[in-house]
Amino acid sequence: MIQQLFFAYFGCAIVILSILVISMKNPIHSVLWMLLLFFHIASLYLFLNAEFMAAMQVIVYAGGILVLFLFAVLLLNIREEMRINRFIGAWPTGFTFAAGLLAVVILSVRSFVAAPPGIYTIDLIKKETNARALGTLLYTDYLYPFEVASLILLVAIVGAIVLAKRRAKG
């Protein structure tokens, strides 16, 4: 009962917050709503026995990505942004497309079959702690994708610096 109540609250809050994020006139308000949204998603992860991912969500998204967004928003002319229409002219097309996608995916969910349960039961994870089980798996079975991810991050750092750097004079 209390679980369902908890999930209902977080589900409603996440949906409402994401609508707020895309419909705010002021981009700074949008970013701040998004911060609240990320914290709600992190609590949902806690609820799903994924402590490590919840911590990652808060650190990487709320700490890193949102600061980047806030920094970029400061480039905008907020006053002009408040005045003009915030949606492009063709927004009904976007809305129709999104609603159609929602309908198709929800209809297709019915034919969903759950996979057979794996070996990582809740008791095992509780015994071994979430971060430890995740780390063991990450550094053994998924070592190669892990290295690829580190390479992607390196390329992103270099690329961002190259793109955002001012051209040297002369």
Partner 1 sequence: MILSIVVFTIGVFGFLSRRNIIIMFMSIELMLNAVNINLISFSHYIQDLRGQILAFFVIAVAASEAAIGLAIVIALFRNKATAHVDEIHEMKG
Residue 124 beta carbon to partner 1: minimum distance, rounded to whole angstroms: 8
Nearest C-alpha neighbor of 28 from the set 67, 71, 73: 73
Encoded amino acid at 17, one letter: L
Between residues 5 and 122, which has the closer beta carbon with respect to partner 1?
Answer: 122
Between residues 1 and 165, which has the closer beta carbon with respect to partner 1?
Answer: 165
What gap in Å lies between CA 92 and CA 96, rounded to an integer? 6
Residue 70 beta carbon to partner 1: minimum distance, rounded to whole angstroms: 10
**13, 43 in Cβ contact below 8 A?**
no
Residues contacting residue 99 through CB under 8 Å, at least 6 positions apart: none
Residue 2 beta carbon to partner 1: minimum distance, rounded to whole angstroms: 17
Residue 88 beta carbon to partner 1: minimum distance, rounded to whole angstroms: 5
DSSP-derived 3-state class of residue 118: coil
Q: What is the DSSP letter of 106?
A: H
Encoded amino acid at 67, one letter: V
Between residues 127 and 156, which has the closer beta carbon with respect to partner 1?
Answer: 156
Residue 71 beta carbon to partner 1: minimum distance, rounded to whole angstroms: 8
Between residues 116 and 170, which has the closer beta carbon with respect to partner 1?
Answer: 116
Between residues 49 and 127, which has the closer beta carbon with respect to partner 1?
Answer: 49
Torsion angle in degrees (nearest 10) through CA of 52, 150, 144, 57: 20
Torsion angle in degrees (nearest 10) through CA of 124, 128, 130, 135: -120
